[in-house]
């Protein structure tokens, strides 16, 4: 069984990965000129932001219960 400390570290790793990914999408958006690609990248970026928010909420819950 995974300990709370291990779970916290996993969530922190997920958050870093998601933040890095989101930043890469935002940088890529600045170079795009294709409207269809821009819309799709924005959708993916928005999904990443939602994923970050969920991971932050879960991290807070796990840290609070630790």
Structure-token pair, residue 59: 């991290």
pLDDT digits (tens, 9 = 90+) for 13-26: 888 988 888 888 88
Give CA–CA dist 62/7, Å, rounded: 8
Question: In what helix (H) or strand (E) does residue 19 lie, and over which residues does it extend?
Answer: helix 4-29
Q: Residue range 29-36: average pLDDT? A: 84
pLDDT at position 66: 61
Q: What percent of the chain has pLDDT over 70?
A: 98
pLDDT greater at residue 4 or residue 53? 53
Q: What are the sequence ranges of the domains in the chain?
A: 4-59
pTM: 0.69
Between CA 34 and CA 1 the distance in angstroms is 47
Is residue 26 classed as helix, strand or coil in its secondary structure? helix
- Residue 53 and residue 60: Cα distance in Å, rounded? 11
Mean pLDDT of 30-49: 86
């Amino acid at each position: 069984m995974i300990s709370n400390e291990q779970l916290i570290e996993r969530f922190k790793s997920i958050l870093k990965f998601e933040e890095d990914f989101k930043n890469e999408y935002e940088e890529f958006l600045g170079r795009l000129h294709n409207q269809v690609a821009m819309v799709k990248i924005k959708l993916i970026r928005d999904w990443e932001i939602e994923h970050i928010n969920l991971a932050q909420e879960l991290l807070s819950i796990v840290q609070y219960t630790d």
